[in-house]
């Protein structure tokens, strides 16, 4: 497999995630779109590092750290979304705009 194929798959993941994040109003669907975008970036970065320096484990460790940080960030985002939903019964971004204040 070549680097071009990995970058094409990463671009497709990023594009689908961008479309999902921009076209949805549900907070959960927006977060899923953001997750796909980050996965595309991590795939591109990991594939690039693998093809540039395959003997070095620095790229793999960096992707693993980014994956853990992304998982923690998404867990916190879902916790905040769940708390907002339980407190105000709000699950759409338009309805959540009145929470500022």
Whether the predicted pLDDT of 97 surpasses 70? no
Token pair listed for 57: 């484990």
Are the C-beta atoms of 51 and 45 separated by less than 8 Å? Answer: no
Write down the pTM of the prediction.
0.79
| Backbone phi, psi, residue 56, to 5° | -85, 135
Residue 89, Ramachandran bin (φ over 0: left; ψ between -120 and 50: alpha; else beta):
left
| Backbone phi, psi, residue 94, to 5° | -65, -35
Whether the predicted pLDDT of 15 surpasses 90? yes
43 closest CA partner among 15, 74, 75, 21: 15
Rg of the chain in Å (alpha carbons): 17
pLDDT, residue 101, reads: 55
Express each pLDDT in 44-92 by its tens digit: 988 999 888 888 888 788 888 888 988 898 899 888 888 888 887 776 7
Q: Which fold has domain 3-96?
A: Helix Hairpins (1.10.287)
Separation CA 101–CA 95 (nearest Å) = 14
pLDDT, residue 19, reads: 96
Q: How confident is the model at residue 37 (pLDDT cuts 50, 70, 90)?
A: very high
pLDDT, residue 44, reads: 92
**Domain map (residue ranges) of the chain:** 3-96
Whether the predicted pLDDT of 11 surpasses 90? yes
């Amino acid at each position: 497999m070549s680097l071009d194929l990995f970058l094409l798959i990463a671009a497709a993941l990023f594009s689908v995630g961008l479309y999902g994040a921009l076209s949805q109003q549900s907070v959960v669907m927006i977060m899923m779109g953001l997750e796909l975008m980050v996965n595309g970036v991590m795939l591109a970065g990991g594939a690039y590092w693998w093809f540039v320096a395959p003997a070095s484990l620095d790229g793999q460790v960096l992707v693993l750290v980014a994956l853990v940080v992304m998982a923690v960030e998404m867990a916190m985002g879902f916790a905040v979304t769940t708390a907002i939903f339980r407190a105000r019964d709000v699950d759409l971004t338009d309805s959540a705009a009145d929470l500022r204040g």
